Amino acid sequence: MCSPHIDLEPLGVELSTSRPGNPFYPYPNESLMHLGNWYWIKGAQKSKENFKELLDIVGDPAFSPSAVSETAWGAIDQQLGRNQFDGYIPEWLGEDDGWKCSSVTISVLFHSQSRSPGAKKQHN
């Protein structure tokens, strides 16, 4: 049986936000969800308009600066990056349905100024 998910780094942190009924999961509260959304959705290039949106988020009376430093952002990011079916193979992926799992090797190019430049084989 094959696994559709490879853990590159264990989560290691139990998210306190995983309580049933938290509508902002995996974020602990609404203001941190808005902050995370601002960071991820607005992209790397930020504009004056984006900055105003950030000011609106951190200027909200419900915003808690201490919550920003106490939040396990890495654990939240990892949770956001998971598929719904991580940890088990969905019924539709079974071999009975014609799906096959196999290992693959790909060649990944690393930039000439990286520590180890050139093509490197990666195998799962």
Quickly tell me which residue has 């909200």 as its tokens: 60
Q: What is the pLDDT of residues 28-66, one digit of tens each?
A: 999 999 999 999 887 788 899 999 999 999 999 999 999
Is the bond leading into 23 cis (omega within 30 degrees of zero)?
no
The SS3 of residue 7 is coil
pTM tops 0.85, yes or no? no
* 118 phi/psi in degrees, rounded to 5: 105, -175
Q: What is the pLDDT of residues 60-93, one digit of tens each?
A: 999 999 999 999 999 998 888 876 656 665 565 5
Is the bond leading into 61 cis (omega within 30 degrees of zero)?
no
Euclidean distance between the first and final Cα of the chain, in Å?
15
